[in-house]
Amino acid sequence: MLEYELLINIWFALWCVIWALCLVADSFPLGAGMLAAFLPKTMGQTLQVAKSVGPFWGGNQVWLILAAGGTFAAFPLIFSKMFTWLYIPMMLLLIAVILRGICIELIYHDDNAKLQQVFRYGWALGSLLIAVVLGVAFTNFFRGLVINADYVYGGTLLGLFGVHALLGALLFVLFFLTSGAFWVAHKTTGEISEKCSRFGKKSSIAVAVTALIYIIALFNTDGFAANYNAYPIAYAVPLIAVVFALACIGLAVKKSDKPFFAFLANLGTLFFGAATGCVSLYPYILKSTVNPEFGVSIFAGASSQMTLSLMFYAALIFVPIVLIYQLWSYTRFKEKIPEA
Amino acid sequence: MIEDIVLLSRLQFAITVFFHFIFVPLTIGLGAMVAGFEVKYWKTQQEKWKKLAQFWGNLFKINFAFGIVTGFAMTFQFGTNWGPYSEFMGDVFASPLALEALIAFFLEATFFGIWLFTNHKRPALKAVSMVLVSVGTMISAIWIITANSFMQNPVGYQMAEDGTKVLLSDIGAVLTNPYLWYMLIHTLIAAYLLSALFMAAVSGYFLLKKSNTDIFRTSMKLGVYVLVISALLLPCFGMFYGHYVGDVQPVKAAAMEAVWESGSDLPMYLIQIPSDSGNTVQAIGIPYLGSFLLTGDLHGEVTGLNDIAEEDRPPVAMTFFSFRIMVILGVVFILEALAGLYLVRKDPAMESPKSRKYIKLILYSVPLPYLAIAFGWAVAEVGRQPWIVYGLYRTAEAVSTVPAIQIIFSTGLLLLFYLLLFFLFLYLMVKAVSAGPEVAEHA
């Protein structure tokens, strides 16, 4: 068995990676869902959008369950506090996840035109709500929550929705829209593909601008830069995110016939953007704005050595297997989707 | 105040878990049968199997779409509504949940996507995907019941030194918990029973209409055979399960039969109405059967509820009636299964007046296995009260102190949303059945 402290640190890193992968994996199904509300002109085009993510969204969504379940297994105390303190946002997330899942699965099932419209907007609304809640939640984690001594929570529901958190929501929405736009542009042919390509060009610039303001605001938040100042090498993480963001804009403009590269670059921005926030958290996951010591640290919140070790080996075996068959599944659906 | 929160959170959990479980059994049972049809088509290339796979696969798809996302609710609620429980139990309870996502959900969801978007021109990929989906549903059942059986019969743990939580000490013991295997097999057989009755009823509907009789005769037969096997296995296996519950959860067992006075050689009363402190009505006792059902021994000694402190008793009437209704329905299924077996052997076309009556009967019976399963879970979970972890941790201690208004708001919202979804589900299922086996494929 690995040493306990090392295991807890490994699990912090895994926690960050799993949540970041969850955002990356769900970014384009969620983005496609939001795009479906306003870009397609016909139901045929809407179905193109739906089919571009149809085979993949479900498997990608499991990263969210794994992220929640992994938090629970590795850091039960943090799981409990995270979900209890953010009670209403989590309930909204739950309803949004159910709404999105049912609508996207059934949109091509039913040929009743009215019902299809209901599914289309339900899918879009669910996707939007998921993006907003995740954006608000993560901004609050990165900024810190009102945690008093002995884990007594002093925050309010309204307090979660500050200006910075709303900017975070906007940023997540833009990230996902961009992801979705490049994906749909890549996977489809015809008018919708061109529309998405054009949309992605604009939104990738919007992402870069919003992200810049968002990150500057983060670094001006009390305590956010502490880990960065202690380990300046960590500045490499936001730097990589910036490089990916610029690469994304460049690729969107220069290689607009191959939106897949801009898509990948956007995923890179998202992953390293999330990592930028995560670096500031250590050794906490739930930071306190009242007094740093009041936060829920990974050492206070971790499971036992045996559980962490068991889950570590399970992750070591199964995460690569999952990644392999999920990536393989993309090779099964290479044909581009024409307008029906 | 805290009592209100406990009640509200329990109500919310009950709503979400029962709603989720509307979709689970058919996903497990029908999934396996569709996988069988897909494999048959792959191997024989006969149109019949393709049509069967398409028709039943279409119903499976609707069910799966509702089932998988409504399952999120419980994971969320452990954190939102049952925070102290999550902190107390997380070390043992959460790894099965995480492993379920890692090993089962990814498999199910990824290959469901592949299956759905692969057409029958690639029968091998289509069949293998569906087999993996079906395997995934079963692995998922193992992990979630691992977690539940720890709540019923905690093993393989030790208390933390400060007594604030349980710590995993032996994962082998957690996985070989006998409760897990009794509960798992019972649940899986019940899922096959529900799916078989559903398949027989829907097939019967087409045989009544004399539409596509060639393919629905096959699924009628399959439905009836699986129904016979599962209906007969359930009580045999359930009996051993009952003896085991009598052994490790004597209070729950006493509540299942509403035994108040301790004793041996107990009869079982066919007619009985329990109240909070005794039975108000009791008639037609079958000698020794009570002892036998709870202990496996005609002369077995059962501890009555009067010898158990009141604060340690579950709600007796609810446990008792849930158990009774489940058992009565179990008997109904055996009779329906045997009648079905007799008829499909004698009259495979199901055209005789008797067969037609029988089909109508099982069409009306479709909701019954759903009820039986719901009542069965009520026995397991209500009968476990007042403990959330049997003998270790009380439900009242386990709840998050969230403002009651937030729980009421979210429960109301969920209830409204679920009602809408339920009617949508019924509409889609009925429509998919009446559309018949000419199903358009996505790919």
Q: Is A120 on the interface with B (CB under 8 A)?
A: no
Q: Which residues of B touch A91 (CB under 8 A)?
A: 76, 80, 410, 413-414
Give SS3 for A333: coil
Burial of B346 per CB tally in 10 Å (0-12, 13-18, 19+): exposed
pTM of the entire predicted model: 0.91
- Which structure tokens are listed for B246? 């009598």
Q: Is A200 on the interface with B (CB under 8 A)?
A: no
Decide which of B32 and B272 is more confident.
B32
Does B221 fall in a domain?
A: yes
Q: Are B94 and A72 a contacting pair at CB < 8 A?
A: yes
Q: Which of B80, B85, B88, B126 to mutate to test the interface with A (most CBs of A within 10 A)?
A: B80
Give B92→chain A minimum CA distance, Å. 7
Q: Is A336 on the interface with B (CB under 8 A)?
A: no
- From the list A197, A192, A198, A195, the residue with the least C-alpha distance to A182 is A197
- Measured between alpha carbons, how far is A1 from A10 in angstroms, rounded to an integer? 13
Burial of B172 per CB tally in 10 Å (0-12, 13-18, 19+): exposed
The predicted model gives B375-382 an average pLDDT of 94
- Confidence tier at A138 by pLDDT (50, 70, 90): very high
Q: What is the pLDDT of residue B203?
A: 93
Q: Is A66 on the interface with B (CB under 8 A)?
A: yes
Q: What is the pLDDT of residue B3?
A: 67
Q: Is A51 on the interface with B (CB under 8 A)?
A: yes
In this predicted structure, the answer to whether residue A246 has a pLDDT above a threshold of 60 is: yes
Q: Are A332 and B89 a contacting pair at CB < 8 A?
A: no
Q: Which of B78, B89, B110 to mutate to test the interface with A (most CBs of A within 10 A)?
A: B110
Q: What is the pLDDT of residue A99?
A: 94
DSSP letter at B388?
E
- Confidence tier at B440 by pLDDT (50, 70, 90): low
Q: Are A326 and B110 a contacting pair at CB < 8 A?
A: yes
The region of weakest confidence among A29-33, B51-55, B178-182, B295-299 is: B295-299
Give A88→chain B minimum CA distance, Å. 7
Q: Are A59 and B428 a contacting pair at CB < 8 A?
A: no
Give A256→chain B minimum CA distance, Å. 27
Phi, psi of B347 (to 5 degrees): -140, 70
Give A167→chain B minimum CA distance, Å. 25
**Chain B contacts in chain A segment 285-304 (CB below 8 A):** 303-304
- Confidence tier at B350 by pLDDT (50, 70, 90): confident
Q: Are A58 and B73 a contacting pair at CB < 8 A?
A: no
- Confidence tier at A325 by pLDDT (50, 70, 90): very high
Count other C-beta atoms under 10 Å from residue A320's C-beta.
10
User: What would the pLDDT profile of A254-274 be if each residue is shown by its tens digit?
Assistant: 887 888 999 999 999 999 999
Does B211 fall in a domain?
A: yes
Nearest CB to B65; choose among A106, A318, A325:
A106
Q: For residue B109, give the chain A residue with the closest CA.
A: A59
User: What would the pLDDT profile of B199-234 be if each residue is shown by its tens digit?
Assistant: 999 999 998 888 888 899 999 999 999 999 999 999
CATH fold, domain A4-332, is: Formate dehydrogenase/DMSO reductase fold (1.20.1630)
Instruction: Please check whether residue A298 is in contact with residue A283, taking contact to mean a CB–CB distance below 8 angstroms.
Output: yes
Give A157→chain B minimum CA distance, Å. 10
Query: In total, how many domains does chain B have?
Result: 1
- Confidence tier at B443 by pLDDT (50, 70, 90): low
- Measured between alpha carbons, how far is B411 from A205 in angstroms, rounded to an integer? 41
In this predicted structure, the answer to whether residue A340 has a pLDDT above a threshold of 90 is: no
In this predicted structure, the answer to whether residue A144 has a pLDDT above a threshold of 60 is: yes
- Measured between alpha carbons, how far is A1 from A308 in angstroms, rounded to an integer? 10
User: What would the pLDDT profile of B145-168 be if each residue is shown by its tens digit?
Assistant: 999 999 999 998 998 888 889 999
Q: Which of B77, B87, B93, B95 to mutate to test the interface with A (most CBs of A within 10 A)?
A: B95
- Measured between alpha carbons, how far is B378 from B318 in angstroms, rounded to an integer? 8
- From the list B153, B155, B159, B57, the residue with the least C-alpha distance to B112 is B57
Give SS3 for A285: strand
- Measured between alpha carbons, how far is B145 from B153 in angstroms, rounded to an integer? 12
Q: What percent of chain A has pLDDT over 90?
A: 70
Q: For residue A331, give the chain B residue with the closest CA.
A: B114
Q: What is the pLDDT of residue B1?
A: 58
Q: What is the pLDDT of residue A135?
A: 95
Give SS3 for B263: strand
Q: How many angstroms separate the Cα of B299 from the Cα of each of B38, B243, B259, B273, B291?
A: 51, 13, 15, 24, 6
- From the list A107, A215, A174, A38, the residue with the least C-alpha distance to A182 is A174
Q: For residue A102, give the chain B residue with the closest CA.
A: B65
Instruction: Please check whether residue B429 is in contact with residue B56, taking contact to mean a CB–CB distance below 8 angstroms.
Output: no
Complex prediction ipTM: 0.90
Nearest CB to A79; choose among B79, B102, B428:
B79
In this predicted structure, the answer to whether residue B442 has a pLDDT above a threshold of 90 is: no
Q: Which domain holds residue B241?
A: 2-435
The beta-strand segments (E) located in B169-313 are 268-274, 279-286
Q: Which of A64, A304, A316 to mutate to test the interface with B (most CBs of B within 10 A)?
A: A304
Give B192→chain A minimum CA distance, Å. 24
Does B443 fall in a domain?
A: no
Q: Which residues of B touch A322 (CB under 8 A)?
A: 102, 106, 110
- Measured between alpha carbons, how far is B391 from A142 in angstroms, rounded to an integer? 40
Does B264 fall in a domain?
A: yes
Q: Are A80 and B402 a contacting pair at CB < 8 A?
A: no
Nearest CB to B406; choose among A55, A76, A88:
A88
The one-letter amino acid at B120: H
Quickly tell me which residue has 């990150």 as its tokens: A215
Q: Which residues of B touch A95 (CB under 8 A)?
A: 413-414, 417
The predicted model gives A220-243 an average pLDDT of 91
Q: What is the pLDDT of residue B441?
A: 65
